[in-house]
Amino acid sequence: MTTQIDSLEEYKKAYQESVDNPEDFWKKQGETFVWKKPFDQTLQWNFEEPNVKWYINGKLNITENCLDRHIEKRGDQTAILWEPNDPSAPIQKYSYRELLSAVNKCANGLKERGIKKGDRVVFYMPMVPELAIGVLACARIGAIHSVVFAGFSAQALADRVDDAQAKMIICSDYNHRGSKNIPVKEVVDDAMDKSCNSVETVLVHKNTHGEINWSSEVDFWWHELIDHQSSKCEAEEMDSEDILFILYTSGSTGKPKGVVHTCGGYMVYTCYSFRNVFQYKEGDVYWCTADIGWITGHSYIVYGPLLAGATTMMFEGVPTYPDAGRFWEVCEKHKVNQFYTAPTAIRALMAKGDQWPAKYDLSSIKVLGSVGEPINEEAWNWYNDHIGKGNAPIVDTWWQTETGGILITPLPGITDTKPTYASYPMPGVQPVLVDADGNIKEENDVEGLLCIKFPWPSIIRTTYGDHERCKNVYFSTFKGMYFTGDGARRDKEGRLRVIGRVDDVINVSGHRMGTAEVENAINEHPSVVESAVVGYPHDIKGQGIYAYVISQNKELDDTFRKEILAMVTKEIGPIAKPDKIQFVSGLPKTRSGKIMRRILRKIASKDGNNLGDISTLLNPDVVSEILNGALV
């Protein structure tokens, strides 16, 4: 297992070593894993193409490191602890031994349906243990998993299935979420009707007793295919640089792109970062509340914790069901030691009042984590005072789908913490702040664009099926550097604070959304001529979605508004629904016809009196009209 830092001195030493001699540093970490054939070189890279390879010629299977290797020492220890949506329903526990056997059975079932190394399998499932089991079963046989968050629409699911040319979709019949029972299979049926021609099998896990439609050619029940399989399955030999998974994420332009992560580097970095960021100790119970549909769930519910031999909890429900004390009730019930959630959840629960956490014994909590968006000072303080009671350091972890693992964070009990600051780079991570021309700002007490100038093991390798896109989006803005799309500030002492996106990506409740994607969805409405979408500060969600819409021959009333919302729900999913829709007669444009989002952003953020010079616009008159009608 990778090393664990336990003092400030060690952190400084590890950091220095990782910068002075990155290859030696990561070679040592890499050697702590089980390899089928050892790697013969640690790193080859250039950021021009880009072409980054870690642990060259190493052969491995990540599931042998997540499962088999733990059997001897902790075979009976709980690997996955599952807490159901309904607090009175039974919990489920899988020991490492049981999990290995469940994964192997599933892997054999996938093979029976013709899935082999390199095939893509899409998951569209709620947070049930079978999701983690299925993901690991893919990894076991070298199939590439692509998990799609089960809140996305049929269209969004179909887009992802088509892009990945997936051979199989694994779903549930229904999803329990709070008091709702959401028809999951129905969405898959819908997606299959739209396209998904590459799909040969839809594997359905029975989660409830609800009725579903059945197509005898493609649909298979999980229990019928998998339960009788052998619990032994040879782990496929994978190259370090073979693809482990694809995860779709939004960018500033076009459709979501498939971020590709590979086996070797991702394994080393998620284990190393998990152990250090959460200071996990043998026997601890760790809980990350994310959904496995996002990168946080991949790296810090499934892979990182299992690689480290941890007990990782999976929660099926929502923070406010049956009431706003649910998170804290679950922390008490399972004596959670590390708790990792998103600022939007903290803000929503903070708004419900201090009495909720006060009802529960939270003394087991040693570390609190935050991820997904900047955490504001008020939420940070509430988290610290009411959940950690001042005794549990907060790790404000900054990272991205593309980075695979946490890159900037305090280490709890080791480095200091400061509200709203993700603070310090992990060993092996070399962040820089640059100006618009790419000049590195060396000094402290500055703001700049956040770039990383050296590869770390879990860096994005490509965007699936379109390497040029990967190059253009991340490696072309500033030569020789990975550009994050975020702006950041460095304080006088050198701590980093990530302020937010500087591109046309908005972050709504910790979910990444491309403004272009939402605009495309709105524009699908036949009466919409054009639209522009921007983010604005929102008390609970971090950012809300503000849409400016030009329409034709249509009464600008609530019915139309609802039709637009329905269109976005259909194209993307309810998470992308605009919070505000303003009907306008025109949009401010430059003389070359580009929408001036800067102006729209300011108006939506109540900063409309401070627009600067607008005289160079093609249509300056429209600005005052928009200002007058602004929904602020």
Binding site for ligand WTA (CB under 6 A): 249, 294-296, 371-374, 396-401, 422, 484-486, 498, 500-501, 507, 512
Helices 263-277 and 22-30: crossing angle in degrees, nearest 10, is 90
Q: What is the DSSP letter of 385?
A: I
Q: Which is nearer to ligand WTA, 395 or 622 (CB)?
A: 395
**140 within 8 A of 104, measured Cβ to Cβ:** yes
Q: Which is nearer to ligand WTA, 342 or 622 (CB)?
A: 342
**584 within 8 A of 552, measured Cβ to Cβ:** no
Closest distance to ligand WTA from the beta carbon of 360 (Å): 26
Quick one: 33 exposed, middle or buried, by C-beta within 10 A (0-12, 13-18, 19+)? buried
Closest distance to ligand WTA from the beta carbon of 156 (Å): 15
Q: Which is nearer to ligand WTA, 130 or 396 (CB)?
A: 396
The CA radius of gyration of the chain, in Å to the nearest whole number, is: 24
**Cis peptide upstream of residue 526 (ω within 30 degrees of 0):** no
Closest distance to ligand WTA from the beta carbon of 451 (Å): 12
Report how far apart, in Å, the C-alpha atoms of 438 and of each of 251, 431, 447, 451 are.
21, 13, 13, 9
Q: Which is nearer to ligand WTA, 164 or 422 (CB)?
A: 422
**551 within 8 A of 583, measured Cβ to Cβ:** yes
**243 within 8 A of 261, measured Cβ to Cβ:** yes
**199 within 8 A of 167, measured Cβ to Cβ:** yes
Q: Which is nearer to ligand WTA, 238 or 508 (CB)?
A: 508
33-38: long-range pairs with CB below 8 Å, 24+: 33/60, 33/65, 33/267, 33/268, 33/271, 34/60, 34/64, 34/65, 34/68, 34/69, 35/59, 35/60, 36/60, 36/61, 36/64, 36/237, 37/237
Closest distance to ligand WTA from the beta carbon of 197 (Å): 29
**Cis peptide upstream of residue 588 (ω within 30 degrees of 0):** no
Q: Which is nearer to ligand WTA, 501 or 597 (CB)?
A: 501
Q: Which is nearer to ligand WTA, 108 or 397 (CB)?
A: 397
Q: Which is nearer to ligand WTA, 500 or 586 (CB)?
A: 500
Closest distance to ligand WTA from the beta carbon of 501 (Å): 5
Closest distance to ligand WTA from the beta carbon of 137 (Å): 25
Alpha carbons 312 and 327: distance in angstroms, whole number: 15
* Residue nearest to ligand WTA as judged by C-beta position: 401
CB atoms within 10 A of CB 228: 10
Closest distance to ligand WTA from the beta carbon of 247 (Å): 9
Closest distance to ligand WTA from the beta carbon of 367 (Å): 15
Closest distance to ligand WTA from the beta carbon of 428 (Å): 18
Q: Which is nearer to ligand WTA, 424 or 583 (CB)?
A: 424
